[in-house]
Amino acid sequence: MVSTTKDRILDGALELLRAEGGTITLDATAKQVGLTKPGLMYHFPTKEALMLGVVDHVAGRWEALLRGRLGQSPEAASPHQRIRAYVEVALNGRFDRADYAIYTNALYRQALTATWVRRLEPWLTLPGSLPGPVRARLTAARLLADAYWAAAATGVFPVPDRDRAELLTVAETLLKDKMPR
């Protein structure tokens, strides 16, 4: 895969977040990737444009991982299949503080939130026609994955690797199309 200058810039910005106390600025990002500030600004003219690019870059990686896990578009999959792919990516993927910072920063900026919604809504939205108990189980599986991801990405109270397989088993029980009576 050929890395474009834009990809190098976006990856460099994420590296800044991985550094202790790191923040993304145009100057720091340009320095990180070996460009002049005007060279960086050719691709991302403002900090807002850079942040939008970084969020889209990270959300796009999530989307690619989900598509790879599912093997089809989310529109062609059942809600169970989509949520299962999400759970498997969240529990098996390698994420870090930069991923978490980019995700949580969206809380404060509508344009950043819109990118996450656009990329992940097809995977996480459940049809209103699903029975309540099914919606609850699928939502519980998704929330299990969200919490595991947050703990792993931040390093705050991470779940030991030895427990991950058991969590997947719990999630798989929640994801069954039919529950035993």
Overall domain count for the chain: 1
- On whether residue 168 sits in a domain, the answer given is yes
- On whether residue 157 sits in a domain, the answer given is yes
pLDDT score of 1 more than 80: no
Q: What is the mean pLDDT of residues 126-141?
A: 96
Q: Which residues contact 39 (CB under 8 A, 6 or more apart)?
A: 30
pLDDT score of 122 more than 70: yes
- On whether residue 109 sits in a domain, the answer given is yes
- Kindly state the percentage of the chain with pLDDT values over 90: 72
- On whether residue 21 sits in a domain, the answer given is no
Give the tens place of pLDDT for each residue, 166-178: 999 999 999 987 6
- On whether residue 54 sits in a domain, the answer given is no
Q: What is the mean pLDDT of residues 139-149?
A: 96
- On whether residue 133 sits in a domain, the answer given is yes
At residue 100, the pLDDT reads 87
- On whether residue 97 sits in a domain, the answer given is yes
- On whether residue 38 sits in a domain, the answer given is no
Position with higher pLDDT, 175 vs 180 = 175
What residue numbers bound the domain in which 85 lies? 73-175
At residue 181, the pLDDT reads 44
At residue 180, the pLDDT reads 47
